[in-house]
Amino acid sequence: MSVDLTQDLLGTTFQNPVLLAAGTCGFGEEVSEVVELDELGGLVTKSVTLKPRAGNPAPRVAEFRAGMVNSVGLANPGAEAVRRDRLPWLRDRIRRARVLVSVAGHTPDEFVQVVRILDDAEGFHGFEINLSCPNDTRRGGLPFALDPEAAARVMEGVRMLTQRPLVAKLAPNTPDFGPVIRALEGAGADGFTLVNTLPGLVLDPETGLPALGAGAGGMSGPAIRAVGVHAVWSAAGHTRLPLLGVGGVARGEDAAQYLLAGASLVQMGSASFWDPRSAGRVKKWLEGYLSRRDLDRISQIVGTAHLQRRSPQPPESADAEDERVTHG
């Protein structure tokens, strides 16, 4: 039975729903000898900042039994060099896979300047806006993704500069996705990626030293899969814009969970380090999954999880509260 894995969203057609996540495939060229990039649905580049960043001290990646932690520090050559040296490779070699460029910054203006530099270049389809960066314009450095007002300011700024699709990448420790999703949707977002890494720390029990050169880092891999799936399901209750699920996808079964929860696409991260060809196996598994269920399109399973959403309960009146206390 022939099945259709294509997904139409963000103004284009993805040939299948399996992408490589930001930070796991560089700018494509780095993994091109071991991954057939044009067989994927797409890829998200390493995050691009306005100025070059050397990144954090080594070691930058450490494994633990349930996943890995990393603290790369947004190492990248900067927006001008990416436009000059990296995007031409993608333009000349990627034909079918769709490319999103990840954009990072520590002030709203940095995001705006990166998009201004890259927007009219060739080699990519849209931007993924990494809102997990700390906001240095406010005391305390709260990440943009945890501050709806600041996140909307970033999105408004980049939206004014580009007609390309803008996908906002959100943080897993957001207590309520509703306010930030509404703010970003109103500011011009075209979709959402859920989720980025969770803060994590791995220590050597013998020395007491952290496994990472920078100390703490971002936790990814199987340990955060359930968090990511729940985040997608929660976000789907607040928006009709397309969702991209990421976090702990290593097998086809993992991807299916995200799709059932409401994601139209999935991104693979840590698994790409362990097994660079895992994305191809996930794609093949999804084909078999649809065939076993006599389904012919991947879109038929998106958002079909058998899980009832609870409607918010109205607050009890003071009289009701008094009565409950009196008779409790």
List of residues 6+ apart from 27 with CB closer than 8 A: 45, 46, 82, 86, 87, 89, 90
Outline where the chain has alpha helix (H).
Answer: 79-81, 87-93, 108-118, 148-159, 177-187, 225-236, 252-261, 270-274, 278-292, 318-327
Active-site hit among 103, 133, 198, 286: 133
Tokens of 272: 């790409």
- Tell me which residue has tokens 């076993």: 292
> What value does the CA radius of gyration of the chain take, rounded to a whole number of Å?
20
Is 25 noted as a catalytic residue in this protein?
no
List of residues 6+ apart from 95 with CB closer than 8 A: 38
Type of residue at 27 = F
Rounded CA-CA distance 261/259 in Å is: 5
- Tell me which residue has tokens 């436009």: 83
DSSP sequence for 35-96: S-GGGSSEEEPPPB-SS-B--PPSP-EEEETTEEEE-----B--HHHIIIIIHHHHHHH-SS
Query: Which of 209, 291, 301 has its CA nearest to residue 262?
Result: 301
CA angle 64, 67, 69 (to 5 degrees): 75
Residues noted as catalytic: 133
